[in-house]
Chain A
Amino acid sequence: MIALAVTLLMPALTALVLAFVRPAPVGTRINMSATTAGFAASVWLAWNVLTQGGIHGAQFQVDAFNVYLIVLTSFVGMTTSIFSGPYMAHELELRRVTPRRMRLYHASFQGFMFTMLLSLSTNNLGVLWVALEGATLATVLLVSLYRTPESIEAAWKYFILCGVGIAQALFGTILLYFAAARVVPDPEQALQWSVLYAHAAQLEPVVVGIAFIFLLIGYGTKVGLVPLHNWLPDAHSEGPTPMSAVLSGLLLNVALYAIIRIKMITDGALASGVAHDPHLAGKLMMGFGLLSFMIAGLFLHRQRDIKRLFSYSSIEHMGLMTFAFGLGGPLATFGALLHMTVHSLTKSAIFVTVGHASQIAGTQKIEHIRGLVRTQPVVGWGLLVGSIAIAGFPPFGVFTSEFLLLSATMKSWPWLAVPLLAGLAVAFAGLFRHLHSMVFGPSPAGQQPIPLNPVPVALHLAFVLWLGLSIPAFLARWFDEATRLISGSGLL
């Protein structure tokens, strides 16, 4: 319980402190130390949960499933804040941001971390909604941090679309509360996930079904499911790069986590129903997931901005995960959990590298980014290895998880393996048609290396490689435990 309190309070208090810290270098240092301490606390929490069992309080619920996302979130938060130090200092030198906005940036970064960790650990579906809306509010002013017309437009779109989207989720939450109020007499308990999950079979199936659709649309907007994805490439491409890394690596995961929790309740409520499809929730997720996966793969071919390119790749992978969780069953769930991990690690590493690449080239336009390997080999190779990993090449972890997902699909819906394979090929081509000339080729005259810290990217990619070569036994057991929570039976 203390570990959880430290994990949650660390970013909340740091955000308050950082709002008053004037000098940018001090703010950067506090930001880094706080996320590092937060990561240490989350590891401590995970250790407690895995050795002594989870926390099942009225307000907070931590089990094998969400503690793994808590660790992942704190880890990516830590490495991103390490990367953001020299990166934002460089932006400050270029006068793209002012010292005052750096203060806003640091406070919002920690505020965002707090909302992410709160959404993951809360047991109350209402608080989950409040925290996810809070995540939008914490990041909207970061998307417009550079105050260019494009970034203002991106932030406005992000604000309105995500605001409207997540309003649908609130409507779904109210409907769920309405259904629960007839079964659970104490109104204080009627929104608690653990209570709802225990009483799922008694909930009115029709009301829960409608609620699920609203919740899927609402949180699906934040996951970036097509056709609700319009805000995502804009917000990722116009904001500062550390923001893109945490949006892609963390926010999308947490929104998907919310959908999975709701699906667990919906499945329980619909299971008994004769008149309705017991797999309504899963089928809807499969449909939306597959659509996002296919459409985003095609859009990869049209991109001219490097950050937009990789944000479409995020939509594609989130679609694949949504599809896999919709498919259900231990194999698909295990694969999807693994995919969530490797995608977060790889994608945030790629966004970090892309940030360096666009600082070197002075632009985000793909056609003007040239010869990275010659100018700064670390960046060039980082981008190449990251792209190979995200495209699903062996021996990286993304290959393992995609292989598991394909096998699961073959088992239950064999004909769906065809669009999946086609989509993977299309996405692969979309990524690699741009890559070669950016990484190799002659570098333009006067292109200079920039100061950077290579540790975050190397660390992330090394982890992804490790997960591809061999999943450590304790991690496999951990994922298996989570799989058992979500799908009812384990894989191992």
Chain B
Amino acid sequence: MTAYADLPLIEQAIRTFAALILVTSFALLAQSRVVAAIQVFAWQGFLLAALTALVAWNSGLTHLYISAALTLALKALFIPWLLIRQARRLGILRDLDAVIRPGLTLMAAGALVIFCYNVVVPVREFTQVVTRDAIAVSLALVMIALLMLITRRKAITQVVAFMSLENGLFFAAVTATQGMPMVVELGIAFDVLIAAVIFGVFFFHIRDSIESLDVDQLSRLREIND
């Protein structure tokens, strides 16, 4: 096993960015203001784009530069812009989506990270340090995003959680396998774009139907009623 300081500078930088991305996902989890959550999400997208560019430089794969540019455009600029615009039009930009027991939630997220490392470490095939970190961190990003999804009650913060889950998957693709084939990456980016637009439309439908964006009030359809 190689120590951190013995790695080439570029790989150290990649690790640092990976750690920063993990930090942003903790920040997302604890952030209760709508506008701040969207901003943290934009930072996560920006860091992910930077990380992709670093991996591209390190591996010399030119197609990763295109992914980096796509990520920057979609995750760091377009989606945050769209979310902020919709939130402003709905008048919920400054709203709070209070995190229930923020301390406990953050502790749970910390436990999830340890859990993910514990799952990944025993697998013999992941002995290469880089891939082991990559799989563990991406699994942790996905888990924390899921935790955020279930602890939030506003539609808009749930969408932020959903998109950060997508970031976790993209992180896995970039670090563990140096990207996916181009046609797949373009397809995924297209799906994410369409999903973001549909979510944007959907906020208005939810507001018009229940006069609120608290998805807690979406509770008419259940198996056990009356």
Contact = CB atoms under 8 A, between A and B. Distances in A.
B220 interface: yes
Contact of B210 (A152, A155, A157, A171): A152
A220 B158 CA distance: 22
B104 interface: no
Nearest to A181: B177
B147 to A, nearest CB: 12
Contacts of A147: 205, 208-209
B150 to A, nearest CB: 10
A183 to B, nearest CB: 12
Contacts of A156: 155, 202, 206, 215, 218
Nearest to B225: A304
B169 A164 contact: no
B172 A174 contact: yes
A196 to B, nearest CB: 13
B191 A133 contact: yes
A480 interface: no
A170 B170 CA distance: 9
B172 A171 contact: yes
B181 A126 contact: yes
A316 interface: no
B221 interface: yes
B173 A174 contact: yes
Given A147-B209, A154-B221, A174-B173, A164 B149 contact: yes
Contact of B181 (A124, A152, A155): A124
A134 B195 CA distance: 9
A367 to B, nearest CB: 13
B125 A207 contact: yes
Contacts of A141: 198, 201
A160 interface: yes
Contacts, number: 123
Interface in A138-176: 140-141, 144, 147-150, 152-157, 159-160, 163-164, 167, 170-171, 174-175
Contacts of A149: 209-210, 218, 220
Contact of B194 (A137, A170, A191, A302): A137
B11 interface: no
Contact of A234 (B138, B177, B199, B221): B221
Given A130-B187, A152-B210, A160-B149, A167 B201 contact: no
A187 interface: yes
Contacts of B183: 124, 126-127
B5 interface: no
A206 interface: yes
Chain B contact patch, size range:
35 or more
A187 to B, nearest CB: 6
Contact of B218 (A152, A187, A302): A152
A238 B221 contact: yes
Interface string A285-319: 00000000000000100100000000000000000
B142 A152 contact: no
Contacts of B181: 124, 126, 187-188, 190-191
A153 B218 contact: yes
A206 B124 contact: yes
A178 B131 contact: yes
Interface string A264-293: 000000000000000000000000000000
Interface of B is mostly: helix
A156 B154 CA distance: 12
B124 A191 contact: no
Given A126-B184, A133-B191, A171 B177 contact: no
B218 A174 contact: no
Interface string B143-186: 00010010000010010001001100100110011101101100
A319 B158 CA distance: 30
Contacts of A134: 191, 194
Given A150-B220, A152-B218, A171-B142, A163 B195 contact: yes
Given A156-B202, A164-B146, A238-B221, A126 B125 contact: no
B123 interface: yes
B205 A144 contact: yes
B180 to A, nearest CB: 6
A177 interface: yes
Contacts of A126: 180-181, 183-184, 187-188
A140 B221 contact: no
A459 interface: no
Contacts of A154: 221
Contacts of B215: 156
Contacts of B187: 126-127, 129-131
Contacts of B57: none
B223 interface: yes
A129 B146 CA distance: 20
B115 interface: no
A174 B221 CA distance: 35
Interface in B188-226: 188, 190-191, 194-195, 198-199, 201-202, 205-206, 208-210, 215, 218-221, 223
Contacts of B162: 160, 163-164
B190 A210 contact: no
B173 A130 contact: no
A234 B158 CA distance: 20
A141 B162 CA distance: 18
13 contacts: A126-B181, A126-B183, A133-B191, A144-B202, A147-B209, A153-B219, A156-B202, A174-B176, A187-B181, A190-B181, A191-B180, A191-B181, A237-B221
Interface of B: 123-125, 131, 135, 138-139, 142, 146, 149, 155, 158, 162, 165-166, 169, 172-173, 176-178, 180-181, 183-184, 187-188, 190-191, 194-195, 198-199, 201-202, 205-206, 208-210, 215, 218-221, 223
Given A140-B202, A149-B209, A174-B180, 4 more contacts: A124-B184, A126-B180, A152-B210, A159-B198
Q: Kindly list the 8 A-B residue pairs having the minimum CB-CB distance in the complex, ordered from nearest.
A: A126-B184, A130-B187, A153-B218, A149-B209, A152-B209, A133-B191, A234-B221, A204-B125
